[in-house]
Amino acid sequence: MAFVVTHLCEDCVDTACVAVCPVDCFYQPKEITEKTPNMLFISPEECIDCAVCEPECPWEAIYPEEDVPEVFEGDIELNAMVDTHRELFELAEVQEKEPPTPEQVAANKAKYGL
């Protein structure tokens, strides 16, 4: 089972997870569209389930596939698009960004009923 980036990452796009990934399995859309939102994606075929990314995500947006909250179940297929439509994505690069406050993380989760 791969790890999954959920919509909690949308428009936040912190790359702390990308910095620790040993296999470079994080991607971002080449173009932001409704089909490819402004968030990171994990290639399920490339993810080695090492779990290093999950605790590094300051937005708490990454879950093991089997633990993805019901509200984000569609994100499993969304991440799989990296492998089925690779032409729409490029390898994510590490970018320095100030981490969110606990209040920002809580407000982001509240948008989804978490």
pLDDT digits (tens, 9 = 90+) for 2-39: 999 999 999 999 999 999 999 999 999 999 999 999 99
Task: For residues 111 and 94, give the distance between their C-alpha atoms in angstroms, rounded to a whole number.
Answer: 26
CATH number of 3-110: 3.30.70.20
Cα 114 from chain centroid (whole Å): 17
Task: Supply the pTM of this predicted model.
Answer: 0.94
Residue 38 DSSP SS3: coil
pLDDT digits (tens, 9 = 90+) for 52-91: 999 999 999 999 999 999 999 999 999 999 999 999 999 9
Cβ-contact 6, 62 below 8 angstroms = yes
CA-to-CA dists, residue 96 to 14, 15, 36, 75, angstroms: 8, 8, 22, 25
